[in-house]
């Protein structure tokens, strides 16, 4: 998640696209991955609706800089449960 800057506030939740196209819209040089909601919930994170119907918000992710060890452990667990699509 992006830390606070002069241009943007700190991000406090993750955003996932509900389709590969939604996931990459507005982004450059990214790969898409597939992960099941059950795998996210199993990590103790919450999944809820986003203002954009093509995305969901995932909250409960520890912030890097606040709890570095747990933030990295959960990020790696998400990576390990995801399958690369493109």
Element holding 55 (H helix, E strand) = strand 55-59
The domain in which residue 37 lies consists of: 14-84
Residue 5 within any structural domain of the chain: no
Number of domains in the chain: 1
User: Which pLDDT value is given to residue 28?
Assistant: 84
Residue 39 within any structural domain of the chain: yes
Assess whether pLDDT exceeds 80 at residue 19. yes
Residue 43 within any structural domain of the chain: yes
Residue 2 pLDDT grade (very low, low, confident, very high; cuts 50, 70, 90): confident
Residue 65 neighbours by CB under 8 Å, 6+ apart: 3
pTM over 0.85: no
Whole-angstrom CA distances from 47 to 8, 37, 86 are: 23, 7, 23
Rounded to whole angstroms, the Cα distance separating 25 from 27 reads 6
DSSP 8-state code for residue 10: P
Residue 80 within any structural domain of the chain: yes
Q: What are phi and psi of 81, to 5 degrees?
A: -85, -15
User: Which pLDDT value is given to residue 86?
Assistant: 63
User: Which pLDDT value is given to residue 57?
Assistant: 94
What tens digit of pLDDT does each residue of 29-50 get?
888 889 999 999 999 999 999 9
């Amino acid at each position: 998640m992006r830390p606070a800057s002069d241009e943007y506030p700190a991000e406090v939740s993750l955003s996932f696209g509900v389709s590969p196209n939604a996931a990459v819209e507005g982004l450059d040089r990214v790969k898409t991955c597939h992960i099941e909601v059950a795998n996210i919930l199993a990590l103790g994170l919450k999944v809820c609706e986003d203002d954009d119907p093509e995305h969901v918000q995932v909250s409960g992710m520890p912030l890097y800089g606040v709890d570095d060890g747990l933030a990295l452990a959960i990020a790696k667990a998400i990576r390990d449960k995801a399958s690369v699509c493109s």
